[in-house]
Structure 1
Amino acid sequence: MAKGVISAIDQAEQLKQDGNLYFKKNRLGAAIDAYTEAITLCPNIPVYWTNRALCHRKRNDWTRVEEDCLKAVQLDHKSVKGHYMLGLALLQREKYAEGIKELQRALDLGRGAHPNSYMVEEIWQELATAKYEEWERDSTKRSYDLRNLEESCKIALKEKHVHDGNLNEEDDEVTDSTSEQLAALKLVFSKAAEADTPTEVPDYLCCKITLDIYRDPVITPSGLTYERAVILDHLDKVGKFDPITRETLLPSQLIPNLAIKEAVEAFLEKHGWAYKTE
């Protein structure tokens, strides 16, 4: 019995390898068939599901991506690829809140397992884009509602002054008092709209090397903060020294800058990620 189980696992692993080879050659149909056979033999191995989902993703078959990734994260709730592609699939259906939640989960898991991998950066960019699109959609609706409300308030204010005798209904001339109230009304709605206006990211929230907003900030003994992946790349390729102070610097001396990280997250939440990411 045990021998049969091992044989099934070995066969499934061979099918996975075949699927990987087909995928590299862009033979997506053959890859899907191979992963499907592997799943039939061993349905409880999450990587078979995420590998097949990746094929569906390349075909833009988002319904099947969602189905396979749901199964993958059920089998392994720490599957970075499972949560990531599930998030992308949900976003395709404009389920922003759910999709962003899955992308955030993928990012948190990725940072914990492989903080400097290309995939963490890719997830971060997708998350930033998703949050911006959600903000843009919501802010457009809020702006439309605000304009309608402002117009209704103007009409109501003018009607009140007509009733009070402070405005001539025929020529629409207003008294100084009415003009002041209309100006005050305009200012109130202008202030209300500020939250939906894109804003520049403060310099202190940006890496001194890339000039881009921090993803994973670390602080050096000299008190300077850098993006972790960038400073590690500098230490590996250029030399073991701080690029600004030129003081000796080792990877082990880098400490997460939690204060800046929290400030970045607070800024992004407040402004709806309404800024441009490169």
Structure 2
Amino acid sequence: MKAAKKGQNEGAMPNVAIKTAEKGHTEGAKCCMCVFTSLVLGKLLKQFLINFHPGIFTVYWFVVELYRILKTSVLAHYMLGLALLQRQESAKGIKELEKALDLGRGANPKGYMVEEIWQELAKAKYLEWERSSSKRSWELQSLKEACESALKEKHFLDYSQMEGFVDDATTSHSEQLEALERVFNTAAEADIPTEVPDYLCCRITLDIFHDPVITPSGLTYERAVILEHLQKVGKFDPITREPLDPSQLVPNLAIKEAVEAFLDKHGWAYKID
């Protein structure tokens, strides 16, 4: 009887553990880190417990499988990024969101979450740009004032030594101030919001590309937008009207790299209206 009861308890252990894991999954949604833990680890833990057998090799498999999922899971990097941002660890959070975005591009429609990732990444990157832009602006203004002060002192010194050439000294000083103004205006240009170049924007949304794909006709669209068009409107190119199937969409890596280069230089373009 004791042996039979013991066998029943051993068989029930995985079920109890599974229910506990599922309960933890629900309660874990109260904060980003708990959501990350429950969503990413919950499924793996459940699978592990269903196939539970004592032994070091099972534990080893669990660790290896956990590492594989964490390394390649879009959701894992996304939730970890949100958790790090909430903890004010902006640099690490942005890095995780960027990993999630790279992994998420080209995912199948059911698991596609590039737009959600982009929204969070754009907000974080824009806040980062605002902080660094304010710092750069203050540094440039301080340096400009110091240069203007130095030029003013030089002007008075030259003025006292150039008797009879007052007009020349004044003209030279004005030209130097104008040149200084141009130099600092040029230095500040990258932080002045302008228009995003048309070739970096989707023809349908008019927003900067997040996940650009190119069609056989040579036109580039935002992946989520063109997929929605093909699903809800019809399987044809919205501009050329030529037949188009989702399988014909190819990532436009050249535009993707151009967008990344533009955003690296012009962080203000991350702003979401």
Name the TM tier (shorter chain): 0.7 to 0.9
**CA contact under 8 A between 2:81 and 2:95: conserved in structure 1?**
yes
In the alignment, structure 1 residue 107 sits paired with structure 2 residue 101? yes
Q: TM-score, normalised by structure 2?
A: 0.74
Q: Can you list the C-alpha shifts for 1:141-183, whole angstroms capped at 9, x where unaligned? A: 0100110000001111111121222699xxxx97111111111
Aligned length: 239
Question: Looking at CA atoms only, which structure, 1 or 2, has the larger radius of gyration?
Answer: 2
Query: Do structure 1's residue 150 and structure 2's residue 144 form an aligned pair?
Result: yes
Q: Percent identity?
A: 62
Q: In structure 2, what residue type is equivalent to 1:149?
A: L
User: Secondary structure at 1:129's aligned position in 2?
Assistant: helix
- Cα distance, 1:9–1:213 mapped onto 2, change above 3 Å: farther
Partner residue of 1:15? 20
Whole-angstrom CA distance in 1 between matches of 2:95 and 2:140:
28
The aligned amino acid for 2:188 is A
Instruction: Rate the CA distance shift 1:184–1:227 in 2: closer, same or farther, 3 A.
Output: same
Match for 2:229 among 231, 234, 237? 234
Highest relative contact order (Cα 8 Å, sep 6+), 1 or 2?
2
Give the structure 1 partner of residue 74 of structure 2. Answer: 80
Report deviation, 1:188.
0.7
For 2:161 and 2:200, locate their aligned partners in 1 and report how far apart those are by CA, in whole Å.
51
Deviation at 1:135, TM superposition (A): 1.0
The Cα of 1:8 is off from its aligned counterpart by 3.7
CA distance in 2, matches of 1:217, 1:261: 6
Residue 148 of structure 2 aligns with an amino acid whose one-letter code is K
Match status 1:272 vs 2:267: yes
Give the match for residue 186 of structure 1.
181
| Among candidates 235, 250, 257, match of residue 245 of structure 2 | 250
Q: Report the equivalent of 1:42.
A: none
Q: Is the 8 A contact 1:199 1:275 kept in 2?
A: no
Matched position secondary structure for 1:210? coil
Q: Which blocks of at least 5 consecutive residues in structure 2 are unaligned?
A: 1-5, 46-65
3-state SS of paired residue (1:109)? helix
SS in 1 for 2:267: coil
After TM superposition, the structure 1 stretch with the greater mean CA deviation from structure 2, 230-239 or 5-14, is 5-14
Give the C-alpha shift of residue 191 in structure 1.
Answer: 0.7
Contact 1:166 1:175 in 2 (8 A): no
Q: Which residue of 2 aligns with 1:63?
A: none
Q: Which runs of 5+ in 1 are unaligned?
A: 40-44, 51-71
CA deviation vs aligned residue, 1:72-94 (integer Å, no higher than 9, x gap): 87983334333223222332344
Secondary structure of the residue that 2:115 maps to in structure 1? helix
Cα contact 1:199–1:271 (8 A) shared by 2: no
TM, length-normalised to structure 1: 0.73
Distance 1:138 1:2 in 2: 63
Structure 2 CA distance for partners of 1:250 and 1:119, relative to 1, 3 Å: closer
Q: What is the distance in 2 between the residues matched to 1:18 and 1:229?
A: 34
Counterparts of 1:225 and 1:121, CA distance in 2? 17
- Structure 1 CA distance for aligned equivalents of residues 104 and 235 of structure 2: 26
More helix by share: 2
Post-superposition shift, 1:98? Answer: 1.5
Q: Matched residues in 1 for 2:160 and 2:186: separation?
A: 27
Give me the CA root mean square deviation.
3.5
CA, structure 1 residues 87+20, in 2 after alignment: closer, same or farther (shift >3 Å)? closer
Residues 273 and 8 of structure 1: CA distance in aligned 2, closer, same or farther (over 3 Å): farther
